[in-house]
């Protein structure tokens, strides 16, 4: 009798082991997704805290006597992240303007509306492509550089050295870079708009045989100031996202040189995703407000 009981207990152990394995396998995706969700929420929270702290220092610099905003540092960062991006933004936006004109002309000509190239190019560039081109180029050109620079400072313990001297890294490192990213992105979007439309105008006159007067009349008749203003508003937010994400990833570097590389990669990917989501949110709001 005892032998039978022992045999039954022995045979039930593999069954319990198999049931536990199946349960763990079933819960594994939930565990992984939960961990990734918590990590994403932590990262977003860290970025939001960094933005709030930077905004606090900006407000103090503007309205509190004796607290300097660091204009020379902001100008230096604007030269580094903005001025040096002008050529690349102009090149890319100019090519996009040419592509749009070439691609739109044949289908529009089938309906006898080849002159409407100006209408479509103006709306597409002012509302979407100008800000997006500037933001993507600035992300790869400046966002990655900011993350790598701050990450290297973390690895070399320069951030700790600042804190040991009672100097806030957010005030002296983050604020100039975020402000420079916002201002530079806004200016770059305007440059991208101008270059893309100008290139489309040039190719329309020289190749598509659309007169200058016709192109400009169609452009100004279709595109309104609100289209330009919404594009500029988007670009300002895009610059803010790039600056905050780059600084947040740079200051959270761990693991030496490998951590710096990861921060750089994460900055580019996260910035582009955030820009596209923000663009979608802006478009939905503008559509609901009948601004598009």
Return the pLDDT at 14: 59
Q: Which residues contact 57 (CB under 8 A, 6 or more apart)?
A: 69, 168, 170, 171, 175
CB 272 within 8 A of CB 136: yes
Average per-residue pLDDT in the chain?
Answer: 86
Query: What whole-number distance in Å separates Cα of residue 76 and Cα of residue 73?
Result: 5
* Segment 139-154, tens digit of pLDDT: 988 888 899 999 999 9
The lowest-confidence range among 42-56, 110-124, 189-203 is 42-56
What is the percent of the chain with per-residue pLDDT over 70, rounded to a whole number? 87
Residue 76, both tokens: 């230096």
Greater confidence (21 vs 193) lies with 193
pLDDT in the model for residue 28 = 61
Give per-residue pLDDT as tens, 247-282: 999 998 887 888 898 999 999 999 999 999 999 999
Query: pTM here?
Result: 0.85
Q: How many C-beta atoms surround the C-beta of residue 238 within 10 A?
A: 30
DSSP letter at 102? H
75 burial (CB, 10 Å; 0-12 / 13-18 / 19+) is middle
Query: Where are the chain's structural domains?
Result: 1-49, 70-288
Residue that the structure tokens 């991208």 belong to: 192
Question: Maximum distance among all alpha carbons in the chain?
Answer: 105
HSE, CB side, 13 Å, CA atoms: give it for residue 212. Answer: 3
State yes or no: pLDDT of 3 exceeds 60.
Answer: no
19: pLDDT confidence band, cut at 50, 70 and 90?
Answer: low
Provide the 10 A C-beta neighbour count for residue 176: 23
pLDDT at position 22 = 67
Model confidence at 6: pLDDT above 60: no
Stretch among 40-49, 84-93, 256-265 having the lowest mean pLDDT: 40-49
Q: What is the pLDDT of residue 151?
A: 92
pLDDT band at 1 (very low <50, low <70, confident <90, very high): very low
> How far apart are alpha carbons 34 and 18 in whole angstroms?
24
- With cut-offs at 50, 70 and 90, classify the pLDDT of residue 288: confident
Closest listed residue to residue 175, CA positions, set 150, 138, 194: 150
Q: What is the pLDDT of residues 153-178, one digit of tens each?
A: 998 888 888 888 888 889 889 999 99
Q: Is the pLDDT of residue 13 over 90?
A: no
Cβ count within 10 A of residue 7 = 10
Helices (H), the chain: 2-63, 71-81, 86-110, 117-124, 130-138, 144-155, 158-164, 169, 175-206, 212-222, 225-251, 256-288
Cα–Cα–Cα angle for 270, 273, 276, rounded to 5 degrees: 145
83 and 136 in contact (C-beta within 8 Å)? no
Average pLDDT over residues 110-127: 90
Reference 200, options 126, 288, 287, 286; nearest CA is 126
């Amino acid at each position: 009798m005892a032998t039978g009981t022992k045999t039954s207990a022995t045979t039930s152990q593999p069954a319990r082991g198999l049931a536990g394995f199946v349960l763990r396998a079933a819960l594994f995706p939930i565990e992984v997704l939960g961990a990734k969700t918590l990590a994403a929420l932590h990262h977003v929270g860290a970025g939001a805290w960094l933005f709030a702290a930077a905004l606090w220092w900006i407000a103090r610099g503007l309205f509190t006597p004796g607290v300097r905003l660091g204009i020379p540092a902001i100008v230096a960062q604007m030269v580094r992240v903005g001025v040096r991006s002008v050529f690349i933004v102009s090149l890319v936006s100019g090519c996009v303007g040419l592509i749009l004109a070439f691609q739109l002309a044949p289908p529009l000509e089938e309906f006898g509306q080849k002159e409407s190239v100006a209408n479509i190019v103006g709306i597409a560039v002012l509302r979407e492509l100008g800000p997006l081109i500037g933001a993507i180029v600035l992300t790869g050109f400046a966002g990655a550089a900011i993350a790598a620079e701050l990450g290297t400072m973390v690895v070399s313990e320069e951030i700790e050295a600042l804190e040991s001297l009672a100097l806030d890294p957010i005030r002296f490192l983050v604020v100039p870079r975020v402000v420079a990213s916002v201002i530079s992105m806004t200016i770059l979007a305007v440059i991208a708009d101008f270059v893309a439309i100008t290139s489309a105008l040039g190719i329309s006159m020289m190749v598509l045989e659309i007169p200058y007067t016709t192109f400009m009349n169609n452009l100004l008749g279709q595109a309104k100031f609100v289209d330009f203003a919404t594009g500029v508003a988007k670009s300002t937010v895009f610059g803010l996202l790039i600056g905050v994400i780059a600084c947040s990833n740079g200051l959270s570097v761990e693991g030496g040189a490998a951590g710096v590389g990861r921060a750089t990669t994460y900055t580019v990917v996260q910035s582009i995703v955030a820009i596209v989501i923000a663009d979608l949110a802006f478009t939905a709001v503008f559509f609901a407000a009948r601004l598009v």
